[in-house]
């Protein structure tokens, strides 16, 4: 059982980053090979502002082969352009029960489930190459693998002046 009951809600500093963790719906779970069909293929979060960096608190449902693409982050800018970024297992996403490091997503939280299993949540920071552009929305998609993306929180930092 991969419950996150030990993860506190509200504004939390995880590593160097601040996230506002919701009190009710704890995570967005996307479609995966081992999940019920009712999970969505994608989720879209409206942003409506500029950002120098975007910070994703994520995990995946299960493990897949190292280097396998499991989904994508798409930054949709207000001018209609988009920036796609692949979610690659072991690169910027990894399963919560997988203790190995993810190259671009350090562990920001570790805790135990009610059953005593250790879980780790990782943070992936996407440096926005166009900090002067307004971001209309962020979209997270799943490729439908066993390593279904799970988004717990999204945060950002203002562009440098």
| Each residue's pLDDT tens digit, 75-109 | 999 999 999 999 999 999 999 889 999 999 999 98
Least confident of 7-11, 53-57, 76-80, 110-114: 7-11
Cα distances (Å, whole numbers) of residue 158 to 22, 52, 124, 128: 22, 5, 16, 10
pLDDT tens digits, one per residue of 30-52: 567 776 668 778 889 999 999 99
Query: Alpha-carbon distance 7 to 110, whole Å?
Result: 9
List the one residue out of 151, 161, 156, 159 whose CA is nearest residue 73. 151
Q: Rounded to two decimals, what is the model's pTM?
A: 0.88
Q: Which two tokens stand for residue 16?
A: 């160097």
If you write DSSP's letter for every residue of 11-47 in order, what string do you get? EEEETTEEEEE-SS---EEPP-TTS-TTS-SEEEEEE
**Strand partners of residue 89:** 93
């Amino acid at each position: 059982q991969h419950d996150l009951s030990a993860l506190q809600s509200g504004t939390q500093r995880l590593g160097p980053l601040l996230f506002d963790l919701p009190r009710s719906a704890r995570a967005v779970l996307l479609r995966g090979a081992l999940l019920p069909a009712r999970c969505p293929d994608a989720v879209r979060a409206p942003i409506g502002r500029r950002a120098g960096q975007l910070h994703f608190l994520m995990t995946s449902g299960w493990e897949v082969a190292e280097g396998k693409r499991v989904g994508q982050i798409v930054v949709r800018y207000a001018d209609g352009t988009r920036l796609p970024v692949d979610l690659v297992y072991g690169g910027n996403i990894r399963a919560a029960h997988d203790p190995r490091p993810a190259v671009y997503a350090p562990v920001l939280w570790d805790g135990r489930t009610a059953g005593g299993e250790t879980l780790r949540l990782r943070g992936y920071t996407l440096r926005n190459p166009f900090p002067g552009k307004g971001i209309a929305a962020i979209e997270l998609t799943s490729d439908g693998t066993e390593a279904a993306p799970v988004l717990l929180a999204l945060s950002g930092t203002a562009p440098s002046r």
